[in-house]
Chain A
Amino acid sequence: MARRSSLGRRLLRQRMAVVGMAVLALMLVGAAFAPLIAPYDPEAMDIIHRLSPPAAAHWFGTDDFGRDEFSRVLFGARLSMITGTLVVVFATVAGTVLGLLSSTLRWLDDLLMRFSDALMAFPDILLAIALMAALGPSLLDVVLALGTVYTPRVARLVRGAALVLQRTQFVEAAAALGAGELRIVCAHLLPNTFAVLIVQATFTFAAAVLTEAALSFLGAGIPPPTPSWGNMIAEGQQYLDRADWLIMAPGLAILLTVLALQLVGDGLRDALDPRLRGLT
């Protein structure tokens, strides 16, 4: 417990990381309570007031169907947060299991690592879009596709960290005392990769938000009318000359979220630095 609280204090000492956490907290609250906060139903049309600029009645204006842009950005945040969280869980769990297996079972190592090399030879968006073409357009498919894209990175990181740990004295001591491989993995390797994992999780979250936006923008992610920042920008694209708020609002939401995640990730990395040294 002592270690964790000092990590928190070290993190709070970094101004930019605190700003990032505040923005992220705001996003999470907005996403969680979107149905309560949103002044309108994000899918309710109001053709008379279509494409009206930002004003008191519609903070971020309305889109081509007269839907309230602010409510749509809020529900878009909900979608981004859910996608990001599920992708992080998927990639972290799968990546940790594969990384630990790879670091422990030599015969599996080569196979898994060449496989991850292969997956990392595609640009994120290309692999994601190809998987989406095979899977189908739903939130679950987006999570599966992005999870597959980001798992190899976690696996490599965990494998690297575990290989370093296996050569440390406390692990060698445990082995000398007769601890089995499973016990070494669960009791010694896994808890000590936590620092690497949490930093990577923040960056995976950021990458997942960006790639989901790109997928939905291209029409290969979350299909309309469900608001996602990416498909909102795609719809706003046609009204670039008349209604710039339609790309500005979701675009700035992406910028704020991803920037906040990067600031927190950097802050975490610096706060954890002594324990990350040599592991990444």
Chain B
Amino acid sequence: MNAVARIALRRGGGMLVVMFFVASVVFAIIHIIPGDPAGVMLGPSATAADVAALRARLGLNAPLPMQYVRFLGDAVRLDLGQSLFLNQSVGAALLSRAPVTLQLTLMAAGLATVLGVPIGVLSALRRGGWLDQAVTVLAMAAASLPSFWIGLTLIEYLSVKFRLFPVAGYGPPGAGLLVHLHSLVLPAIAVGLPNMALILRLTRTAMLDVLNEDYVRTARAKGLPPATVVIKHAFRNARTAVLTVVGVTVIGLIGGAIVTETVFGLPGVGNLIVASVLNRDYPVIEGALLVISGIYVLINLATDLLYLVLDPRLRD
């Protein structure tokens, strides 16, 4: 077996272990509910018969270890159970809302990377100059803003005052591609901006490290054009660091999307989660926790493997 396959296999195994712990955490969260979870889920107005029925349906009468084993078994089979309020399985509920969140996250990630990486590189090249200082302070400010507040401010100025964008509401793909993308632009900026700041700052640091290396000085000394030095010599070696950052940002992007969807009334997973928390629809919360952390762990695995492609030194 070659080195890459061996490493991939080991990382894959590690990922399964982490997912086992993730599932245990999710199980624990539902069981720290004080008192009877079924009673809490149905609220104070529920009858004793309703509560008993729900207890039976959720298998809460079994001993805790049994419930744990059953929970893990369901998770392995990707059976996330039934929503308490939606008359829909949790899997179907998540799946029907996933496209909006996926698009929002991808657009925000694209925006954050397309702006963050080049500005970070430029900032590193002009280290200490006015551009660098301005960029550093602005990036820090952007990272200090909650995405929901950026969203509201964008709505206030660009939608309410200047009517450039829809105030809220979602243009489904059926309403035409332009309407659809138009309704996602402001949310993507709101989610992307704080993450752009993060990508920018870490790209700058990675580039500064590389620019101090001897081979960069050599490349410059032998008279290569500055752009060639930056792109072919410096950035090539900062790539793995940038990849790490983009991987880390994914989790921030998903978090931002969860909060921002409610601001713009986008029918995505975030909106579903917030509604489920307010309704105490625990099966949906459990399912969302499992699926989102699973996606994150998979992305981490993918970035780990991408390192091996980008940096042959890691293959041994």
Contacts and interface: CB of A to CB of B under 8 A. Distances in A.
Interface residues of A, number: 45
B152 A237 contact: yes
A121 B247 CA distance: 12
Contacts of B278: 219-220
Contacts of A121: 18, 22, 251, 293, 296-297
Interface in A96-150: 114-115, 117-119, 121-127, 129-136
A240 B152 contact: yes
Contacts of B21: 114-115, 117-118
Contact of B146 (A16, A136, A241, A254): A254
A74 interface: no
- Chain B, interface SS category: helix
Contacts of B32: 131, 134-135
B26, B155, B293, B296 pick with most chain A CB within 10 angstroms: B293
A206 interface: yes
Contacts of A210: 144, 146
Contact of A233 (B22, B33, B152, B273): B152
Interface residues of B, number: 48
B144 to A, nearest CB: 4
B153 interface: yes
A258 interface: yes
Contact of A254 (B34, B137, B149, B262): B149
Contacts of B144: 206, 210, 254-255, 258-259, 262
B106 interface: no
17 contacts: A118-B21, A123-B258, A123-B296, A125-B255, A126-B258, A129-B277, A130-B29, A131-B32, A133-B280, A133-B285, A134-B29, A134-B33, A220-B278, A240-B160, A251-B145, A258-B145, A262-B143
Interface of A: 16, 114-115, 117-119, 121-127, 129-136, 206, 210, 213-214, 217-220, 230, 233, 237, 240-241, 244, 247-248, 251, 254-255, 258-259, 262-263, 266
Interface of B: 17-18, 21-22, 24-26, 29-30, 32-34, 137, 140-141, 143-146, 148-149, 152-153, 155-156, 160, 251-252, 254-255, 258-259, 262-263, 273-274, 276-278, 280, 282, 285, 288-289, 292-293, 296-297
